[in-house]
Amino acid sequence: MKFTRKIGMLLLSIFLIAWGLVQLLGIGGLGVILAILAIAAGIFIILER
């Protein structure tokens, strides 16, 4: 059970980081703030904090 949870969190982290990077390179405005939050969330999930 712990193994699947870790994989799920890893995939969620990758998704959040990828989504954040796409938004950061796309249209500005509120998307930039959301992109920074998504990247930070992904990194914290990877670090398991």
What pLDDT was estimated at residue 23?
Answer: 81
For position 17, what pLDDT does the model report?
A: 87
Evaluate if residue 3 carries a pLDDT over 70.
no
Model confidence at 47, in pLDDT bands (50, 70, 90)? confident
Domain count, the chain: 1
Residue 40 lies in a domain: yes
Domain that holds residue 42: 8-47
Residue 20 and residue 33 in contact, taking contact as beta carbons nearer than 8 Å: no
39 found inside a domain: yes
Residue 42 pLDDT: 83
Is 29 inside a domain boundary? yes
1 within some domain: no
- C-alpha distances (whole Å) from 37 to each of 2, 4, 5, 21, 25 are 26, 25, 22, 11, 14
Per-residue pLDDT tens digits for 5-44 = 677 788 788 888 888 888 888 765 666 777 777 888 788 8
Task: Give a yes or no: residue 24 inside a domain.
Answer: yes
Tell me whether residue 3 is in a domain: no
Q: Note whether residue 2 is domain-resident.
A: no
pLDDT for position 46:
82
